Every structure is written in C-alpha cells, then in structure tokens.
Amino acid sequence: MAAPLFERVAIKRGIDTILDATIFLLLLSLLGYRLHFLRTNGFHGLHFTAFLCEFYFTFTFFLLITIKSNPLRFITYPHRLLKRVEEIPAVDVFVTTADPSLEPPIMTVNTVLSILAVDYPVNKLGCYVSDDGCSPITFYCLTEAVKFGKIWVPFCKKYGIRLRAPFRYFSNALEAEQDRSQEFLHEWNIIKGEYEMLCRKIKEANETRDAGDLPFFSGTDSKNHAPIIKIIWENKEYENVLPHLIYVSRGKRLKHPHHYKAGAMNVLTRVSGLMTNAPFILNVDCDMFVNDSNAILQGICPFIDPKNDKEVAYVQFPQRFYDGLKDDLYGNQLIVSMECIVPGLAGSQGPSYMGTGCIHRRKVLYGQSPNELNINGNILGSKLYKTFGNSEDFIKSTTSALMGIADYPKSLQCSIEALHKVASYNYEDGTCWGAKVGWYYGSVTEDIFTGMMIHGKGWKSIYLNPNPPAFLGCSPTNGPSTFTQLKRWTTGFLEILFTKNCPIFATLFGKLHPKLCIFYVWIYLWGPLSIPELCYSLLPAYSLLSNSHFLPRVHEREIFIPLLLLVLYNLQQVLLFLKTGQSIRAYWNNQRMAIVNTMCPHFFGVVGIVLKLLGLSETMFEVTKKDSSSSDDDGETDEGSFIFDESPLFLPGTTVLMMQLTALFTSIWRRPAKPGGVGEVICSVWLILCFWPFLKGMFRKGRYGIPFSTICKSSSLTLLFVYLSEKKKI
C-alpha cells in the first residue's frame, strides 16, 4: 500500500485542562454561594442579577471547555502526493474582491500572483476572480499581473521560492536567500525592477482612474450592470507557464438582492463549472495570499487519502495574519483561538468553515450527502433544473461533477451565452441556490452558516495548521474597522440562531455532531453575552454609589472564590499566550479586547438583529477596509493608541468607563476611610484598566480621540445612572 498522505497526532494540553476544571468548579461554587445567600436572606436584587449573569458566564465557559477537549493535529506529506501525479485532481481557485477603495487592487494582484505560482500541476489549476466592484481598474491590474506573472512564476519555480506573493517576498532582505549565485542575483534584480514597475502602473491607474480602453466596461454602474466575464489568460498545453485566469463580475440590478459574498461565490461556482469544473474548489479572500507554495498540495492530501475519500467535505487552514499591530492592540490576531480552540473541533467532526483558506469538494456544494453514491445521470433530469437553474450547459457540467467524472469540459471554450446566463442577476430566481446548494444565503456570516449546513449532512472537515502558515491575510488595524467586522459577525451568527437552521435542530434531526453543536451554539451566543456582561459591569458601580455589596465582604471566606477566579483565569490566559509565542502585553490587550468587544460591537450586533426582527432595518455586509503597506497614511501615527470615530459602537464602552470612574471617585470622596467593598473596588478598577485606551481617548483629539458627541451622550447616561443608583431606584 502507498505511504499515507496524512496522519493525525493528539495534542497534549497539560496544565490547561487542570485550570479549566478548577475554574469551572470555582464558577459552580460562586453560583452555590449566590443560591445560599438568596435562600438565607430572601430575594435581593443585586445578588439575583449577579446570579443570572454568573449563570450565563458559567454556561459559556462550560461550552468552551467542552470544545477545547481532546485536540488533534494533522500532518500532511505533500511530496508523496507529488510523486503520484496522475492522482492529483484539478482545483479551481476563487478569489473575491468587492471594492477597490477598501481593498487595494495591488493586494488582489499579489493574492492572484501567489496562486498562479503555486507548486501544483499548471494544467490542473484555474483561478477565478470575482469583482463585485465591477472595476475596470481591477481588471486592468489583473492583465498587468499576468504579464509580470510570466517571469515571476518561472523565477519562483526555478529557485524553489516558498513565498510567492511578490510584495512579501521583496519586503524580506535579500540576505535571507539561500541561493546567492551571480545568476540568481542578476535575475532577482531584474524581477524586482519589473515588480516595482507593476506597482507603479497600478498606482498610476488607481490615481488617474484610467484603465485604458476597455469597451466592455463603458457605461457600467457597479450596482447595476450585465455580467462581464473575460478570460485574462488561458493556459495552452504547449506553454504551460501560468494556469487559467478568469475575471468575473456578475450581473446586478439595483433592487435585486445579490447576497454579497455568498452570491459571488455561487456565481463563480457556476462559471467555473462551465469552464473547468474541477472537483475541488479553493477559496481565498482578496487579502489572503498563499504563503507556502505547497499549500494546495497539502490541502488536497486528506481528500486523496483512501480512508477519508468518502467523508471529508472541506479542508480548512487557520486564518493567520501578517503585519499585525504590535502586541495585538485590537486583539484580533486570533492566535489562541486558532491554536487552542479549533484543534478541539479537529478531533471531532472538524473545524467550522472560515470563509477563506478552505478547499471544498464541489459535489458537497451541489448538495450531496456523504452516503449518497455518485448519482446516475438519468434519474434526476427535471429535478436538476429545479435545483440548479435553467441552463442546459450547466446541468451537464453538474451531472458530470455529481457523477464524479473528472475531466469535463476539456477547454475554456464554452459558450459566452451560457456563461452570461449563469452569471446574470436573476439566474437563481426559483432555484435552490443559497438554500440547498452552494453557499447559503440569509446570514452575513455565510461561511460559518454554509459550513454548519455541510456538517449537518454528516460530512467531516479537516483542520490543517502547518508551519509556516499556508495562507496569510490581513486583519483590521483600527478601532472602527475592528468593531464593524465584529458587529457583522455577531449579527450574522444571530441570523442563523433564530431560524429553523439552528444547530440544536441540526443535531436532533440531522447529523451535526454534539460537539460541533456546542461549538456553533457557543459562537452564536457571543452577541447575547453582551447583555449579562453589560449588566455585570454596572454592579460594582452601583454598589459603590449606593453603598451596597454584590460580592462577599473581606471578612467572609467566600471572598476567595471571586479572587481565585480572577487570578486563575488570567493565569490560564497568560500561559496560553506564552505557549503560542505571544507576549504578556498581547495577553493583556486580548483580555481587555474580549471585554471591550463584548460590550461594544457584540452588543450592537444584537441591536442590529432586534431591529431586523422588528422589520426596522436590514442587515448589510460592510466590507472590511484593508490597509496595504503601499497605502498612504494621513498625518501622525501612534501605533500603541486606539483609533476612534463618530460611530455609536463606542458609546457603551465610554459609558461603562465613565460610570466606573464616577462611582469610584464618589465612593472615595464620601467615605475616604472606607471607600466601599474590596471586591467592588477591584472590579471597578479592573474595568477602568480594560477601558484604558478609551480613557486616553477622552483627552485626545482627532482620530485618537473619542468624539465630543459620544462623550456628551455617555455623560448624560452616567448622570442618569448615578441619580438612579443613589436613590436606589434600580
């Protein structure tokens, strides 16, 4: 038998398990203390509220420790696959971009170049770029990218370069190179020059908004236009330098829903079905380049392994980021989650789909279940039209994909009419796209939703977390973008929770593994967690203002429960950060942001969903702004400081901070000798430390300052709170 292509290895967690258990027991004791207190003293508003909040915290913590248990890791052997060339399947790569001003074209170009250059048989790859911005600039940049690609790709392959996104490759010093021969240096210099020229051309096109003569773009409005599908580069067998590159801007009409990224992915699925119809689909966002030229080979290994052939739906690589801010100021590098939480899922049904860096099996996206045999083409006839839409060509391609026929069609020369038809704005009307096949609609987090529906059918997924990382993307680098992204995620999660597609039903009536059910419930409850957390944050301030207590007093021995909880929980976090190679400051920023995020963007995610349920507003996919190193920064930069804007998202945080400050000072001023309970003071001070960047922001101007209007609103809310607390009216 051939050597295995991949292996699983258990991960040892050591002390983390003990800390999990201890913290959980302490949380239970705290609940016990509350119940005892309420029984002996009768109903007590403060303690009752505290009990409810702590109950919720204990519940989410329980979910989390269940998710983290029994982690696994997978190792792949891509070089073994390379030796079995005839078994290597074709892969279609989808790149999505939506807005050239928020997503600089140079970034998309680098992502595309890194894909064109991967170590994978060139004739088995096709790269499709979806441009929801319908931008001639993006199109022009891609045509220029191909010209550069013709020298870049052979250079990378000749010298075995691992990182094939030119902007990253050239940002590393030449000294790091192994091969320093004269020939190499000579070529390196030429190619660097060419890359700089490409950057200049792109910059110029961006500035002058001039992409040359492109008649098919004339008169198009990005929100209202017919489909534009262009083969930018076709790989002909005799050349075999670059894989196919196809530009797709799907048709849109103003009032017709286009379902954001999910809609774009479904159009790419159909367009690629007509052109190359590869059995596997890799999808990356425009900011996520291939960081290791072996990435696709690695990702294909689990699919080829005979043990998994029948049950793996997708292979997910972690989201990793390059050029993150120092010490993870906004806590959005997700390293601990990717290293310590997701591996727990890997040991079960597999990781959730994260929207990028993921290889899908095409058949699964066509709605097939793991136990269904490859279909027999004749049976389904008219049902196929109902499901997949009214295109004969596409039904043919679907049938062969579902039947497992690998090599249909042989060339890109399919009919333009068919292509335009499947990419038109109304092709999906009355079909199952977005509901039973393709990427699912109805949530702005289409990724987790689609992944969950796939798991619900009983499919497994595989988590590959290689070193060096296979893909790298970028994370938001300022407060407003971070908050907008998180708000969208929370809203998207709740859009799934409150439907018939809720994970609990998927476990009860479908094939979702209970552990995955727990994971999805845990993540969907991020938003609602903001309510107990906001309530809990009011308790110390209220206690200090009204001279009451919600925590055990110093002379009671139960005071050790919350104190130990605080110490052990933070100790656990510090250890996790150190274990994953991060700094103590990164730990602190992350733990602070966990609180800030819950109270600000997550809370607004909940507000958004309530408005949607009341029919007052619709949810939107707001594209995250991506900073490229080539974009100019306006004015001063201060890496360690928070960036704010007028958004109401900053309001709850500013208010909570003001409440703590007011409560603390009032209590010291009134009772200088005995300023309130120790527990309450510690809580209040802790919150002030968590919102420290907000405190600094209150005294600064410009983008590092909290706008005056937000300060006014927060002050009013604080005054109202102080008034009500002092009168003990709440």
| Residue positions annotated with a catalytic role | 132, 447
- Give the number of residues written for the chain: 730
Q: Is the CB of residue 260 less than 8 Å from the CB of residue 444?
A: yes
- Binding partner at 621 among Mn ion, ligand UPG, none, C-beta below 5 to 8 Å by kind: ligand UPG
* Of 295, 286, 281, 287, the residue nearest 467 (C-alpha): 295
Burial 316-341, CB ≥16 within 10 A → b, else e = bbbbbbbebbebbbbbbbbbbebbbb
Q: Cβ closer to ligand UPG: 423 or 687?
A: 423
Q: How far apart are CA 205 and CA 139, in angstroms?
A: 11
Minimum CB separation of residue 32 from ligand UPG in Å reads 40
Bridge partner residues of 312 (DSSP)? 460
Q: State the minimum distance, in angstroms, from the CB of residue 258 to Mn ion.
A: 19
CA nearest neighbour of 521 among 503, 508, 509, 500: 503
Question: What whole-number distance in Å separates Cα of residue 730 and Cα of residue 546?
Answer: 10
| Structural element, H or E, at residue 448 | helix 446-456
Q: Which is nearer to ligand UPG, 266 or 582 (CB)?
A: 266
- The interface mask with Mn ion, positions 283-322, x = CB under 5 A, is --x-------------------------------------
DSSP 331: S
Using the CB atoms, write b or e for 508-531: b if 16+ within 10 Å. eebbbbebbbbbbbbbbbbbbbbb
Work out what residue 455 binds among Mn ion, ligand UPG, none; the CB cut-off runs from 5 to 8 Å by kind. none
Segment 606 to 625, residues that bind Mn ion, using CB under 5 A? 624
* Least distance (Å) between residue 79 CB and ligand UPG: 29
What Å distances lie between residue 525 and 146, 272, 351, 431, 592, CA to CA? 45, 36, 18, 32, 19
315 binds, among Mn ion, ligand UPG, none (CB under 5 to 8 A by kind): none
Segment near Mn ion (CB under 5 A); pick from 102-110, 255-263, 281-289, 694-702: 281-289
447 binds, among Mn ion, ligand UPG, none (CB under 5 to 8 A by kind): ligand UPG
Where do the DSSP E strands lie in 177-239?
Answer: 228-233
Nearest-approach distance from CB 464 to ligand UPG, in angstroms: 17
Q: Considering CB distances under 5 to 8 angstroms, the limit depending on partner class, which of Mn ion, ligand UPG, none binds residue 118?
A: none
Task: Pick the closer one to Mn ion by CB: 354 or 423.
Answer: 354
* Residue 448 near residue 352, CB atoms below 8 Å: yes
DSSP code, position 408 = -
Q: How many whole angstroms from its chain centre is CA 646?
A: 25
Q: Which residue is it, tokens 């590098």?
A: 333
Q: 573-612 mask for Mn ion (x: CB under 5 A)?
A: ----------------------------------------
Comparison of 354 and 659: residue with beta carbon closer to ligand UPG: 354
CA–CA distance from 200 to each of 29, 141, 205, 630 (Å)? 64, 11, 9, 11
Smallest separation, CB 527 to Mn ion (Å): 20
Asked whether the beta carbons of 370 and 311 are under 8 A apart, the reply is yes
Residue 366: CB atoms within 10 Å: 21
**With contacts defined by CB under 5 A, how many residues of the chain interact with Mn ion?**
2
Instruction: Specify the residue, 152 or 526, whose C-beta has the smaller distance to Mn ion.
Output: 526
CA gyration radius, the chain: 27
Return the number of the residue (497 or 623) whose C-beta is nearest ligand UPG: 623
Q: Residues with Cβ < 8 Å from 39, sequence gap 6 or more?
A: none
| Minimum distance from residue 601 beta carbon to ligand UPG (Å) | 12
Task: Report what 261 binds from Mn ion, ligand UPG, none; CB cut-off 5-8 Å by kind.
Answer: ligand UPG
Nearer to Mn ion by Cβ, of 491 and 624: the residue is: 624
Residue number with CB closer to Mn ion (285 or 327): 285
Residues 624-643, mask of contacts with Mn ion (x by CB under 5 A) = x-------------------
Closest CB 476 distance from ligand UPG, rounded Å: 8
User: Cα–Cα distance between 313 and 359 in angstroms, integer?
Assistant: 9
Q: Which residues in this chain contact ligand UPG in the complex, by CB under 6 A?
A: 96-98, 103, 130, 132, 260-261, 264, 285-286, 355-356, 444-447, 485, 488-489, 492, 621, 623-624
Residue 483 Cβ vs Mn ion, minimum distance, rounded to whole Å? 14
Interacting residues with Mn ion (CB under 5 A): 285, 624
